[in-house]
Amino acid sequence: MENKKIPVLCSQEHCTACAACYNVCPKRAITMQEDTHGEIFPIVNESLCIGCGKCERVCPEMNVDRLERNGKPEVYCCWLKDANVRRNSTSGGAAYAISAAIIKKGGHVWGAAYDKDMYVRYTEANNLEELEPIQKSKYVQSAVGEAFQKIKQELDNGDYVLFAGTGCHVKGLRSFLEKNYPKLYTLDLVCHGVPGQGVFQKYKRWAEEKYDIKMTDFVPRPKRNDGNELGYYSLIKSENGGCIKMERLDNSYFVGFQRNLFLRSACHDCKANGEQRFSDFTVADFWGLGKVEPFNDYKQRTLGISMLALNSVKAKALFPDISVWLNCQKRSYKEASISNHQYYKSAVPSPRRNEFRDDYERMSWDALADKYMRFNKKDLVLYGIKKFIPPICYYMLNYWRNG
């Protein structure tokens, strides 16, 4: 085709790897490729491109007025009635309850799960047992792949679908679909930001070599057998069934994540946060619970409590089907946003982020961890508190410290 117009895609500073452009391309002229910093971006093959412009049209970051936000949310604190399922959830299990409500309607749930090589990809669940791999936070960006195309097929068939992902990927899905589907429900999380998969894979290779294992799961915030949350180590599960506690410098990936060393550039100027969201539901840990209105059940705090925001009319209409799985109390957005700053503002990049990016490709993970992720005095104090005092005391101290 002569005189075709080669598309100009979103800049790397603003691209969220939502893959709407990749999914909409009729000629597979766009591929998602990893750069030298371990992050994926769309690349156009000019020889295959026909210049149709669909990729530019569906990009949510290039068309900022394309999607409307929902109105003011109804906010709840909640936790699952089923203690066993709650134990396998990151906080109180609100996302599981929403997923269960959709599955009970014969629908499909899409969420982030590790594949056999420990890459995180959006994966489909069609029954309650299949939800387990997509429970718990992953602390790495999920690859979209062709998930959006499959979701569209299910919606066009008249099925219920829940898509659970980051706010930017919710925007990507809605923009790709180009119309509203009454049976589509979207769920985003209060997102700290996402590292690229390449960074996690570098950490994974280091851990596998150090401990002579094949990693099958990484749990940044595990819970004890009694369901109490732990904050001083991450957990690696191996192919032979063993588990390894990753503490202090061995837990360097988690430390780097918390310090915002290797989040995507777009995460530092997030266009999906705020009180009024693009998603139907928003979930998070309810860190600020009790700081506006009293909440005295400290035992529930140590087991994990979710913040659940109903952002849309659809979400509020579905809530009766969700609440049968949950213990709930109505709260406020003000309380939900206290100590949960990424609800309404972007993560601040580490002052050493650019230096880390320069070193990332040429240095081993050991060297990177030693240079950028060592504990300072504050880290050592918090590590000792979390490790040696009972969870209830830590939560009371944290409550006092945050006012």
Q: Using alpha carbons only, what angle is made at residue 380 by residues 378 and 386, rounded to the nearest 5 degrees? A: 105
Segment among 89-103, 141-155, 222-236 with least mean pLDDT: 222-236
How far is the C-alpha of 263 from the C-alpha of 276, rounded, in Å? 24
* 205 pLDDT more than 70: yes
pLDDT in tens, 259-316: 999 999 999 999 999 999 999 999 999 999 999 999 988 778 878 899 999 999 999 9
Task: State the alpha helices, DSSP H only, in 157-218.
Answer: 167-177, 197-211
Q: Can you tell me the mean pLDDT for 184-203?
A: 97
Across the chain, mean pLDDT equals 91
Is residue 401 over pLDDT 60?
no
3-state helix vs strand vs coil in the chain, percent to 5: 35, 20, 45
Residue 298, pLDDT score = 76
**Average pLDDT for 151-157:** 98
Q: Please, which pLDDT band fits residue 402 given cuts at 50, 70 and 90?
A: very low
Regarding predicted confidence, which is higher, 403 or 317? 317
Q: What is the pLDDT of residue 107?
A: 98
Q: What tokens were used for 123?
A: 């994966």
Residue 232 pLDDT > 70: no
127 touches 103 (CB < 8 A): yes
Whether residue 378 is predicted with pLDDT greater than 80 in this model: the reply is no
pLDDT of residue 64: 86
Per-residue model confidence as pLDDT tens digits over 130-150: 999 999 889 999 999 999 999
User: What's the whole-number mean pLDDT along residues 346-356?
Assistant: 97
- Quick count: other Cβ atoms within 10 Å of Cβ 209? 11
Give pLDDT, residue 3.
74
pLDDT over 50 at 366, yes or no: yes
Considering the chain, what percentage of its residues have pLDDT values greater than 70?
91
Q: What is the pLDDT of residue 377?
A: 74
Q: Is 108 exposed, middle or buried (0-12, 13-18, 19+ CB in 10 A)?
A: buried
What type of residue is 288? G
Does the pTM of the predicted model rise above 0.85? Answer: yes
- Does residue 206 have a pLDDT over 50? yes
Pick from 15-24, 119-128, 209-218, 237-246: least confident: 237-246
pLDDT at position 392 = 54
191 pLDDT more than 90: yes
Report the amino acid identity of residue 189.
L
In this prediction, residue 39 carries a pLDDT of: 96
C-alpha dihedral (268, 273, 275, 276), degrees to nearest 10: 140
CA dihedral (122, 170, 138, 183) positive or negative: negative
Span 322-342, pLDDT tens digits: 999 999 999 999 999 998 999
- Reply yes or no on whether the pLDDT at 77 is more than 90: yes
Per-residue model confidence (pLDDT) at position 398: 55
List the beta bridge partners of residue 299: none
Cα(315)–Cα(95) distance, integer angstroms: 13
Residue 403: pLDDT band with limits 50, 70, 90: very low
Q: Dump pLDDT digits (tens) for 13-61.
A: 999 999 999 999 999 999 999 999 999 999 999 999 999 999 999 999 9
pLDDT given for residue 78 in this prediction: 97
Give CA–CA dist 62/10, Å, rounded: 6
Between 158 and 234, residue with greater pLDDT: 158
Q: Is the per-residue pLDDT at 391 higher than 70?
A: no
